[in-house]
Structure 1
Amino acid sequence: MALRSEIMSRSEALQDVRAASGNPASGNAVNGAGPVGGFADALTGALQQVSAVQAHSGDMQAKYERGEVTDIAQVMLARQEAGVAFEATLQVRNKLMSAYQEIMRMGS
């Protein structure tokens, strides 16, 4: 039951992050200024979040090995989150590379 509530709280936190990251870009578009940095900033922010999730996973694993954390479910959940975040990042990279290659083919 505690694991379920932790998953729910993390899900809500992710939704809050998504909502917060979406607001600045839409605010700039409304003002007519256009997105500042736009895609590059969004990509950098996403990579930083993935890095933070992976760092948290590493910390949890180290704490478990030292005996500071006794709940293996928390450690495994952190490792799964890091794995999913990395896989999502890899898929985004693959799609970006595919789009870039397609654009390069258009010019030829």
Structure 2
Amino acid sequence: MNPINSGAGAAGVHDIIALRQQIIDRSQLLQQLRAPDAQAASSAAQGPAGGFSDNLRTALDKVNQTQATAEALSTGYEKGEVTDIAKVMMARQEAGLAFEATLQVRNKLLSAYQDIMRMGV
């Protein structure tokens, strides 16, 4: 009697197919888990502070954009194009605060750098 054609044999084939599918699923999961490690290794090869420098650049770009918007509103008010003085003053205050925060972050980074440079090796 052929085991593949019997009822028990068919269940065995389905079990084998199910096991095979589980193995494939687990293999794919392991590959997905390893993929971020490979990406992290490639970004580490680019530079150890790649994430920090990108975040810092984005923050500085936002501050620059805020200042440009405030300047544009101020210029528009001087030309008479913008009549809402509250909007102009809010934009200028926002730009001033953003610049002050950026300056404080720079000061803290500079202080941390100087502390690191003073450490003995």
Q: Distance in 2 between matches of 1:87 and 1:44?
A: 16
Q: Distance in 2 between matches of 1:45 and 1:70?
A: 31
Q: Specify the code of the residue in structure 2 equivalent to 1:65.
A: E
Give the counterpart letter for 1:31 in structure 2: P
Shift of 1:34: 3.1
Q: Which amino acid aligns with 1:72?
A: I
Return the offset for 1:107: 2.9
**Which residue in 2 is equivalent to 1:103?**
116
User: What is the RMSD computed on CA atoms of the aligned residues?
Assistant: 1.8
Unmatched 5+ residue regions in structure 2?
Answer: 1-34, 44-49
User: Would you say how many aligned residue pairs link Structure 1 and Structure 2?
Assistant: 79
**Structure exhibiting the larger radius of gyration computed from Cα positions:** 2
- Residue correspondence of structure 1 range 1-108 to structure 2 within 5 A: 31-32=36-37, 33-34=39-40, 36=43, 37-107=50-120
TM norm structure 1: 0.68
Q: TM-score, normalised by structure 2?
A: 0.61
1:68 positional shift: 0.7
Q: Displacement of 1:77 after TM fit?
A: 0.3
Q: Please, which runs of 5 or more residues in structure 1 have no aligned partner?
A: 1-29
Moved beyond 4 Å, runs of 4+: none
Q: What does the per-residue CA deviation read over 1:3-61, in whole Å, with 9 as the maximum and x for residues that have no partner? A: xxxxxxxxxxxxxxxxxxxxxxxxxxx92333942011111111111111000000000
Determine what percentage of the aligned residue pairs are the same residue.
61
Residue aligned with 2:40, SS:
coil
Query: 3-state DSSP class of the match of 1:45?
Result: helix
- How far, CA to CA, are the matches of 1:34 and 1:91 in structure 2? 30
